[in-house]
Structure 1
Amino acid sequence: MNSSNPFFKNKNFTNTSKADVLDNADVMTISGTINKSLILLGLLAIAFAVTWYMTFQGYNPMVLTIGGAISGFVLVLITSFKPEYSRQLAPGYAICEGLFLGGISAIFELTSYAGIAMQAISATMVTFVVCFMLYKYEIIKVTEKFKSVVISATIAIAAFYLISWLLSMFTSYQPVHYGNSWMSIGISIFVIIIASLNLFLDFNQIEKGALNRNPKYMEWFSAMGLIITLVWLYVEFLRLLSKLSRD
């Protein structure tokens, strides 16, 4: 139970054969993972701008938005089982998620209030920096108990979302996390807290991967996993801000 992010459960983090590593140039490093993460964020931002621009130019972004979401999910599944392909698939995932996020952000911008997307981006980045500093200076330590609590909470959230979605699809059930009730807002805040705590697990697994001298391609794999958490966090901030803006 190392991380609730499925990427960081891969056996490559804990069962790497040293025979696969030829020299220091072929091993995973923290700096290398940071560089790969910045590349993926850059690609995501470019794709984000495409659907954002299309929406405000009067084009319907739904094809790119939905296509990006589905394609991104497929790439996550493939890379989860074949991390050695992450060098090729991680950039594609970043582009797909950028198309998806750009589309839904533009929709929220039009249906909630101007500036909500920038507020969500700012909140996500501030949360990331705060969590990173807390981890770096060991103010919050990633213990086995910490991991167990975060993983259990993340699984519970995933199950809750899935069951609520299925019930709303086939019955007249209205999920409690919809709308802007105090309960719905409280659920969103709780989910944001859990998503933020997942960042600590991600940082810890990246550090472990570097210490274990995992193969170089695991930098792309790790960067992709970190982007997954940031995307989740950003979407939840969008949802919360939208709820708070309603009368």
Structure 2
Amino acid sequence: MRSSNPVFSRRGFSRDNGGYAGFDAQYAQAGTATNPYATNPYAVDPNTGMPAAPARGSVMTIDDVVSRTAMTLGTLIVTATLAWLALPVDPANLNKSYVIAGGTGLVAFVLAMVQNFKRKPTPAIILAYAAFEGVTLGVVSAATSYYLSPGVVIQAVLGTMCVFAAVLVAYKMRWIRVTRRFTGFVMAAALGFVLLMLANALFMVFGGGDGLGFRSGPLGIVFGIVGVLLGAFFLALDFKQVEDGLTYGAPREEAWLAAFGLTMTLVWIYVEMLRLFQILSGDD
């Protein structure tokens, strides 16, 4: 499976090693009972219990995913906190704050794209992405809390945690089943959402005001909810990616990709939550 983030397309655990994406064409297209382990070099032979192909070093475990995710999120939280504390509580600096957030956000975007096109995960790039993304979120959150809507930041954080927990429970209980159709639907919906947001941003830049109105008022609430739902769907794809990596014995280094994907998705959900609660508070 080629799991993807709402903005960035990430390779799965099998670009150059078979795995889930290496299932034979008949199985992938028709869903027949073809042996899905036929081209998977990490699979275990169900008859012998032995690896069907020579092992390639240590394999990824759930502890690897948890520890790498804790490192990326920890880096993001630390830099976000430092950025928050460094931001002067002065409305005159609001535009300056947004310029800083835009600059660090652009750097984070470039780093994410660099990692996306690399064949293997690079921990330094992933942690650097988390650091710059943290600065962006810290500045935006502080500006929102100080100048626009006090109290919405903690609401957005709690909302993000609740979405994560709810999707995790739903996925573990198999209330959510990630299929090819589900993945296609989510990708199409996310593409449409991103294009609409870009169009709205362009109208805001060149036309002024609220652009097309997708980020304010009742319409902004609707699009905020849609954005959160898309983030939840992509969490399900991330969980599926992790599950596949564990099932098919992905190399330990792939845990960094799982952490990278989860971090980007949680950032997406937090930003959408922040904007949604800001609108609901009446300060849009």
What is the TM-score normalised by the length of structure 2?
Answer: 0.78
Q: Which consecutive residues of structure 1, in runs of 5 or more, have no partner in the other structure? A: none
The separation in 2 between residues aligned to 1:152 and 1:83, in whole angstroms, is 25
Distance change (3 Å), C-alpha of 1:20 and 1:95: farther
Query: Where do 1:226-241 residues align within 5 Å?
Result: 226-241=262-277
The separation in 1 between residues aligned to 2:123 and 2:222, in whole angstroms, is 39
Counterpart position of 2:84: 52
Q: Does 1:97 align with 2:133?
A: yes
Distance change (3 Å), C-alpha of 1:21 and 1:105: farther
The separation in 2 between residues aligned to 1:63 and 1:74, in whole angstroms, is 17
| Residue of structure 1 aligned with 2:214, choices 140, 153, 177 | 177
Q: Which consecutive residues of structure 2, in runs of 5 or more, have no partner in the other structure? A: 19-40, 42-52
Q: Does 1:130 align with 2:130?
A: no
Pairwise CA RMSD = 2.4
The separation in 1 between residues aligned to 2:97 and 2:78, in whole angstroms, is 15
Q: Does 1:40 align with 2:72?
A: yes
| Residue of structure 1 aligned with 2:188, choices 142, 152, 174 | 152
The separation in 2 between residues aligned to 1:20 and 1:86, in whole angstroms, is 25
Q: Does 1:82 align with 2:83?
A: no
TM-fit CA distance, 1:109: 0.3
Query: In the alignment, is the contact (CA less than 8 A) between 1:185 and 1:240 conserved in 2?
Result: yes
TM-fit CA distance, 1:87: 1.6
Query: In the alignment, is the contact (CA less than 8 A) between 1:2 and 1:201 conserved in 2?
Result: no
The separation in 2 between residues aligned to 1:98 and 1:172, in whole angstroms, is 28
Q: Does 1:28 align with 2:29?
A: no
Specify which structure has the bigger relative contact order, considering alpha-carbon pairs within 8 angstroms and separated by 6 or more residues.
1
Larger Rg: 2
Could you report, residue by residue, the CA deviation over 1:103-156 in whole angstroms, capped at 9, with x for unpaired residues?
000011023332211110110011101101111121221122222221111111
Could you report, residue by residue, the CA deviation over 1:69-116 in whole angstroms, capped at 9, with x for unpaired residues?
111101101100114242221111111111000000001102333221
Counterpart position of 2:146: 110
Query: In the alignment, is the contact (CA less than 8 A) between 2:3 and 2:11 conserved in 1?
Result: no
Counterpart code for 1:32? D
Counterpart position of 1:3: 3
The separation in 1 between residues aligned to 2:232 and 2:111, in whole angstroms, is 23
Identity fraction in percent: 30
Counterpart position of 2:237: 201
Query: In the alignment, is the contact (CA less than 8 A) between 1:116 and 1:241 conserved in 2?
Result: yes
The separation in 2 between residues aligned to 1:171 and 1:53, in whole angstroms, is 34
Which has a greater percent of helix? 1
